[in-house]
Structures are given as C-alpha cells and as structure tokens.
Amino acid sequence: MKIVLGGTNICYLLLICSYPCAMTNVMNGDIGKQVFQRVADEQGILPLGCYYLGTRQVSLSEDKEIKTPADLNGINLRMPNSDAWVFLGKAMGANPTAIAFNDLYLALQTGTVDGQDNPLPTVQSAKFYEVQKSISLTNHLVDSVWPTINVNTWNKLTDTQKGWVMEAVEAGRKACDEQNLKTEAEVQDFLREKGLAIYEADVSAFAKHVLDTYLGDPISETWDKDLLNQIQSMA
C-alpha cells in the first residue's frame, strides 16, 4: 500500500522493515498510530491496522544465485508500472522494466524480462514457476494490507463499539499473519518440487544498498528523518 501524505511518500516504511516481525512492531505500534492518524487527517480514511501480506523475493528465468545487489547487475527485472517501483528496482541493483502484472507471464516466457519480484505465493498462484528456474530470498520489501474505515463513520461509534471493532481487527490480523507466514513456508517446498533452486540472499547487503540509494537521491528529501531513525532503531 502506498500512501502519500503532504507530499511525503511514506511507503519507505515497509522498505526498511525487511522482516514481517519488524513490520508488525513498527506499523502496529506507536509509529503506526501516528501514520494512521495522518492518513485520517489528510484523506478521510482511518487505517485500523497493518496485516502481513507477504515478503517480496526475486525469481529468475535462469538458475542464478542472487547474493548481493551486485548480482543483479544487467538483470532485466520486471517491476510494477510506477516511478516508485521502478526506482526500487534500480536501488536493488537491477535494470528495472515496467510491465503490467497481466502481461508478466508472457514477458518471462519470451525473455522480455529476466525475472520478477513478488511474494512466493504469487509465484505459485500465477504459475511463474513454469517459466522460472531460481528464487533468491532477498526480503527486499514487506507487502501489507490495511483495513480502513471512513473517519466520519468511525467518529459515530461509541467507545465500546470502537473496542469491538479493534478486537476483531486484531483477531483478523493474527489469523492473516499466521496463515500467510505458514503459506510462504509451504510454498518453498512446492517450488522445490517443481525444480526451482532457492537461494538465501545477503539481506543486510540489500538493506544497506537500497537505503543508501534512497538517501542519496532527491526522492528522500521529504522523508521524516527522525521517524526513519526510530524505525531503524526498532529494526
């Protein structure tokens, strides 16, 4: 989910929380409450929590281990069609190519791109394993989904009703997080059975390279650096 607040792109919150537990601690804690309130104030919708949707990994049409960002040099990596996503591909060290998701299978099959990034369950459901040979667990971005409510509707609820809603939201979050983590672990076995090689990337090397690239570019000029430091200390 990408939220723009006062000209500040805060989707980097999920870029620098490269593990599900870190994302949950940040987005479902005090920092998340501040972010959610800013969304409510500026856009009229109140996020009620942050659910774990999956962690994005790199898969390639060749059997190639991606250990560090240097290993992505020259790799045409499909990214979603937006400037923010394309910049992420560059920050990871790849040559990003913007392609719509519906066209991605054919692009992989024909060699238009060398690889793509998505959570592992997507590799399974979209059958990318049919045209892929390897996956490197880069953990470069944690995907999430935020249940929301209209602010006016929320303000009409009593405190008791709000408590009921939040109890349900938290129960849903736990169930969603546990199921998606379980599914990701099981999908690895499925993909290995399909013949894909799975490699462990140097996540710290990716985290440093990506963050340094963002901080060295004007894209981060509007970032809240104090907030960034808080998140880094928690991670």
In this prediction the pTM is 0.85
Q: Reply yes or no on whether the pLDDT at 153 is more than 50.
A: yes
Q: Reply yes or no on whether the pLDDT at 125 is more than 60.
A: yes
Residue 117: pLDDT band (50, 70, 90) is very high
Strand partners, 58: 117, 136
**Which pair of tokens denotes residue 222?**
């509007």
Query: Range with the lowest mean pLDDT among 12-21, 186-195, 207-216, 221-230?
Result: 12-21
- The whole-angstrom separation of Cα 139 and Cα 92 is 11
Residue 227: pLDDT band (50, 70, 90) is confident
Q: Note the pLDDT tens digit of each residue in 167-215.
A: 999 999 999 999 999 999 999 999 999 999 999 999 999 989 999 999 9
Q: Reply yes or no on whether the pLDDT at 18 is more than 80.
A: no
Instruction: Sketch out the chain's domains with CATH numbers.
Output: 51-220 (3.40.190.170)
**Which pair of tokens denotes residue 88?**
């992420």
Cα 224 to Cα 39, 146, 162: the distances in Å are 15, 21, 30
Question: Measuring CA to CA, which residue among 189, 192, 231 is closest to residue 214?
Answer: 231
**123-133 burial: b if 16+ Cβ within 10 Å, else e:** bbebebbebbb
**Which pair of tokens denotes residue 120?**
């592992």
3-state helix, strand, coil in the chain (%, to 5): 55, 20, 25
Q: Reply yes or no on whether the pLDDT at 11 is more than 80.
A: no
CB 59 within 8 A of CB 121: no
Strand partners, 118: 57
| Arithmetic mean of pLDDT, 107-124 | 96
Decide the pairing of beta strands 134-145 and 51-60. Answer: antiparallel
* DSSP conformational letter for 101: G
- The whole-angstrom separation of Cα 30 and Cα 65 is 38
What is the pLDDT at residue 93?
96
| Arithmetic mean of pLDDT, 45-68 | 96
Order of strands, sheet of 76-79, starting from the edge strand that comes earlier in the sequence? 95-98, 76-79, 115-119, 51-60, 134-145, 197-200
**Which pair of tokens denotes residue 113?**
């791109």
Sequence letter at residue 190: F
